[in-house]
Structure 1
Amino acid sequence: MVRAPHDPQASDRVTLPPDAGLYVELALDVAEQDRLRAVAPGPVWFAEPDSASADDARVLAESHIALGNPGADRVARAPQLRWMQLASVGIDRYVGLDWPALEGRLTVTNLGGLFADPVAETCLAGILALYRGVDVLAGLRAGESWSKLDVRPGLRLLGGANVLILGKGSIALRLAELLAPFGCSVAHFARSDGHLRTRQELDARLPEFDIVVGLLPDTADTADLFDRRRVDRLRPGAVFVNAGRGTLADETALVAALASGRLGGAVLDVTREEPLPAGHPLWSCPNVILTQHTAGGSREETERILDLFADNCRRLADGEPLRNVVRWSQGY
């Protein structure tokens, strides 16, 4: 798997007391809890995800290490906290904190490229499902309707498709690898090293692409990047995929383009509102596959999170830079 390069900085190294306490806010079984006790430098406290317990808040405030995604307000009121390993790639929950003040004492690491394989595979699966009519056929099966002659003429081949991937992180690079055997032509939109680097280049070349895949973080630069004007610039029959952040696209414009038949489909792992409320047009919009923010999931998800945490614990003990340190000035 291709991984984005690591850029060590002084903040990647964290100094802790030898008996530093660990606060864990994850759903874990007994064996997983025992594994954490074996790698933690000091006592370990386990809390349920999104805990509202006053006892949990007190322990977090007294801990030096946190694993999971505790509430932002609780993190801000945890003066002893020195390192927080998120159980996510996204950092949206914590963006509003005073990082110019906090960053001097608190280092945050996220999951980096841990979800590259599952998210890339979900994107590919969704694209293939639309191209090969799997979504339509699944619905026909549910209704016991044999419609071979209606479905077959509309099936498409992925081979040779022109694909634009928004972003060039670990997921984007992995998806490009998965598309290569299909003979797809892949371009990246990325400010520093993309084939397209500016919004002007994006606007000029958007109509060239059969598939556009959003894999961007939620920043001021990426929010509403695909407004109505850019949705309208997608070529007729194009497939739009978003497995980055729900703020990327104007969903009203996307629904209109799909309902009219101008776009060939959408694969959406993320939406602006999650869970998607009952009655939302995306539930009934044609040619839409909703994967409900499951793209990063796998049976090995928790094990892989603990693997990363254990490796960072070893790095911490050996004085090495931690992996996947969040750069708050960059927004990811």
Structure 2
Amino acid sequence: MAPLTIWCNLDLPEEAVAELRRGTEGHRVILGSEAPDDADVAFGQPPPDSALALPSLRWIGVTSAGYTRYDTPGFRESLHARDAVLSNSSSVFDEPCAQHLLAMMLAFARQLPEALRDQFGERRWPADRIRSESWLLQDQTVVIVGYGAIARRFIELAAPFGLRIMALRRHVRGDELVPTYPIEELGRLLGEADHLANILPANASTDGLLDADRFAATKPGACFYNIGRGTTVDQNALIAALESGQLSAAFLDVTDPEPLPSEHPLWSAPNCFITPHSAGGHRGEWSRLVRHFLQNLRRFESGEELKDRVI
């Protein structure tokens, strides 16, 4: 293959830049916000319009699991017309996000938020209450809304806990690890959920999907988790469900907007716990993103299917 021009618009740490340059030896790498006109490959978070303006572009590798701004009919048609592809980095973030979701569930089950409230508050040592209100995950039901790499890894990690897990997705393929149903059957399954885990991406079909009617149909006292996107949830309906006790707790890694303003009512909603869109974060994240790109670069050079190709 002839040398490629690779445009990276990320502000990478020095060690990641060095790893990128070592792995792309023989190719031309351009770092910065300005795209070279002859770019064959874009790595990072290229603006969609800027990417489509590059006549030679054949592959976009985005450094996120989400790719909402590229997931439009016009963008897809433009890529297909030039025989170009887009990949995301789901296999970089599936492990940390799945661990984050499992940590949320375990924290609720073992009443860790309550223990921390006591430690940072009155320090009353409420052992009897916390012990009696803790529960085991065995035989509880998890309904996952949105089946992809994160859901698959969560299911693998959760296997030793004896949970009953069901999932919903837009298109059921038949190779899922647990019973999986079309998203249209969400209402039928909500009443069985002890844990409702949202991993939906943001797009027109998921905007506000989890609304007041959905929360009302959920099993009373269920726990809700969101590591998908904030726009998929009617947050006013979520607050109302927490205040009424329909939901016993919520753990959110994503909100709308982000950052969440300090005066937003989600911060003070009962039993609502928020992490700052950090579920995918981990030590060595940038190096893993670069290595993922370089592995795909080898595939691209040899004409193989790219890992995490989404368009």
TM-score above 0.5? yes
How many angstroms does 1:173 deviate by? Answer: 1.6
- Offset of residue 304 of structure 1: 1.6
Output the TM-score relative to the length of structure 2: 0.89
Structure 1 residues 1-332: aligned runs within 5 Å: 18-40=2-24, 41-47=26-32, 56-57=33-34, 59-96=35-72, 97-105=74-82, 106-148=84-126, 149-190=128-169, 191-192=171-172, 193=174, 195=179, 197-198=181-182, 201-327=185-311
- Deviation track 1:138-197 (CA, whole Å, cap 9, x = no partner) reads 232223522414444322222221111123322112111222211111111234147352
Structure 1 residues 24, 201: CA separation in 2 closer, same or farther (over 3 Å shift)? closer
Q: How many residues align?
A: 302
What secondary structure does 1:66 align onto?
strand
Moved more, 195-204 or 86-95: 195-204
CA distance in 1, matches of 2:307, 2:53: 25
- Cα deviation per residue 1:40-76 (whole Å; 9 max; x = unaligned)? 24221222xxxxxxxx32x343322111002233223
Q: C-alpha distance in 2, partners of 1:231/1:290?
A: 19
> What's the C-alpha RMSD, in Å, of the aligned pairs?
2.1
- Tell me which stretches of 4 or more aligned residues in structure 1 moved more than 6 Å: none
Residues of 1 paired with 2:155 and 2:104: CA distance?
15
Q: Could you tell me how far 1:113 is from its partner in structure 2?
A: 2.6
Identity of aligned residues (%): 36
Q: 1:235 to 1:117 in 2, by over 3 A?
A: same
Deviations 1:107-146 (A, max 9, x none): 2111133211111110111111122221122232223522
1:223 deviates by 2.5
Unmatched 5+ stretches in structure 2: none
Q: TM-score, normalised by structure 1?
A: 0.84
1:216 and 1:222 in contact (8 A); partners too: yes
Cα-to-partner distance string for 1:11-54 (whole Å, 9 max, x where unaligned): xxxxxx7222111122323332122122224221222xxxxxxx
User: C-alpha deviations, 1:202-260, integer Å up to 9, x for none?
Assistant: 22231111001112222333332212101111111100111112222211111111122
Alpha-carbon distance between aligned partners in 2 of 1:249 and 1:211, rounded to the nearest angstrom: 16
Q: Which residue of 2 aligns with 1:8?
A: none
Contact persistence 1:159–1:182 (CA under 8 A): yes
Indicate conservation of the 8 Å contact 1:120/1:174, yes or no: yes
